[in-house]
Amino acid sequence: MLETLEELLPEILKATGETLLMMGICLSAALVLGGALGLLVFLTSRGQALERYRAFNLLANGVINVVRSFPFIILLVAISPFTRVVAGTSIGPLAASVPLSIAAIFYFARLIEQTLRDVPRGVIEAAEAMGASPLQIVRHVLLVEARSGLVLAVTVLAVSFLSYSAVAGVVGGGGIGDLAIRYGYYRFQTDVMLITIVLLVALVQSIQFLGQWLARRVDKR
Amino acid sequence: MSRTSKPLPASPAIELRGVSRRFTDPGGQSVGVQPTSLAVPAGEIHGIIGFSGAGKSTLLRLVNLLERPDAGEVIVHGQDLTRLSAPALRQARHRIGMIFQHFNLLHNLTVAENVALPMRLSGEPAARIRERVAACLDFVGLAAKADVHPGRLSGGQKQRVAIARALAPEPHVLLADEPTSALDPRTTLDLLGVLADANRRFGVTILLVSHEMEVIRRLCHRVSVMEGGQIVEQLDIADGRIPEGSRLGGWLAEFGGAAGGASSAPIEPAPHHLAQESAHA
């Protein structure tokens, strides 16, 4: 097994780099775009500051549900023409990042919307009574009171998409999961399978540990 | 908590003119506020009492437009809030403090940060915020807790923080929505003392909703009695007496201290209540 490890080390390093690249792109897209979308969906829901834009709320909710209905591998193939336009190619880790980002944006939007619902209505109302604008409510109330939940939402997102990124192999995206499938699964190299799985387990544990530690640290409730 | 400082009737600090707000409750019953008018002179502590569902909280929330009236005018310090643009309304709200039954503090902020929040929202300079936070925490007796998070305070202390937060921007008007209903009788008395003090020292007009007769009687100069979404009686109780033959007097005889049916634990009566306490026994 050590021999295999040595032999495969360059492959493993390359795969790890590809995984980190895909994760970096899709998590960034999710944080920025998915976060904003989730926030808007929350703010336009009943009883919130931008309730008057209910039409947006209904539309966005519908779109989020539709995108989240797609099994990821089907989404990956279905949007490949779009991927080609955005990434210039439909194969490789950069191309795989496009469907990963799309899925992550809508997944994270839903997570954020649900996390924000945990902020007590009364606290938001108190801020409204103080004369807070919708933007100030977001910055001074929602992001403050929900911050540990938001950290945990990012943690769940990261763990889920580490797993999703394994499917990227279908379009030559590479990554650790793809390595496991190509060597471990198709070639029956159980030792490679084990190495990659140990690597993935270690990654997931680290993400989860870091997320929970940070969430606890910022939670003063 | 003496009531010798009854204010002279000036132009009203709060004036509701024919306001109404209708909701339909899950049972299909129409509830809310019927067309109602109310004028509270500057410097007065005005109570609103009534049973659950009488519309008293809704009436209070109409004053800062947390609840928008279906009709009528809401005039606070000469300004009709219903005609203001959203930014102008936010500006007006900076001078209307509010406290709540469940305090509604931000639990991830320290006590001092909570008190500073309304002033940060209105963009006050940092030095001024520091000065007001210190003064207000001192006023409510919690200067020592400035850097603690609210999760570590008792209910009474949380409400004191909420009062400091409401007073920090030097409001003309303080709205209090069942401020003592989550607190025990002794803590309730302490808090009523703080509110009376705020009224006396800063001249802030207080409009307070409660279902507890004792709270109204000890604190308020005048009281409006609500039933079925309307004010059905208005009494001067500045001397702590509730006139016999009034609806409120009838309730007191029937339910003791609480209008909501919950029995209030006996509270040590303040001296000037003694005579009439026995009259209603």
Q: For A70-123, how does the pLDDT look when each residue is reduced to its tens digit (9 = 90+)?
A: 999 899 989 999 999 999 888 889 999 999 999 999 999 999 999 999 999 999
Torsion of CA B195, B225, B51, B106, to 10 degrees: -30
Q: What is the pLDDT of residues B21-55, one digit of tens each?
A: 988 777 766 678 988 999 999 999 999 998 888 88
Contacts of B28 (CB under 8 A, 6+ apart): none
In chain B, pLDDT over 70 holds for what percent of residues? 86
Split at pLDDT 50, 70, 90, the class of B241 is confident
Res B207 pLDDT > 50:
yes
ipTM beyond 0.90?
no
Q: Is the pTM of this model over 0.90?
A: no
Measure CB to CB from residue B66 to each of A129, A144, A219 and give the nearest one: A129
Q: Which CATH class is domain A2-218?
A: mainly alpha
Measure CB to CB from residue B98 to each of A126, A218, A221 and give the nearest one: A126
Q: How far apart are CA A192 and CA A198, in angstroms?
A: 10
Q: 10 Å Cβ neighbour count for A192? A: 23
Residues from chain B that touch A219, judged by Cβ atoms under 8 A, are 108
Which residue on chain B is closest to A141 by alpha carbon?
A: B106
Contacts of B127 (CB under 8 A, 6+ apart): none
Res B120 pLDDT > 50:
yes
**Listed range (A9-23, A109-123, A165-179, B89-103) with the worst mean pLDDT:** A165-179
* CA-wise closest residue to A91 among A106, A103, A76, A102: A76
Pairing mode, if any, of strands B173-177 and B96-99? parallel
Q: How far apart are CA A196 and CA A179, in angstroms?
A: 7
A130, A133, A141, best to mutate vs chain B, most B CBs in 10 Å: A130
B108, B145, B147, B177, best to mutate vs chain A, most A CBs in 10 Å: B108
- The domain segmentation of chain A, as residue ranges, is 2-218
Mean pLDDT of chain A: 92
Q: What is the pLDDT of residues A52-75, one digit of tens each?
A: 999 999 999 999 999 999 999 899
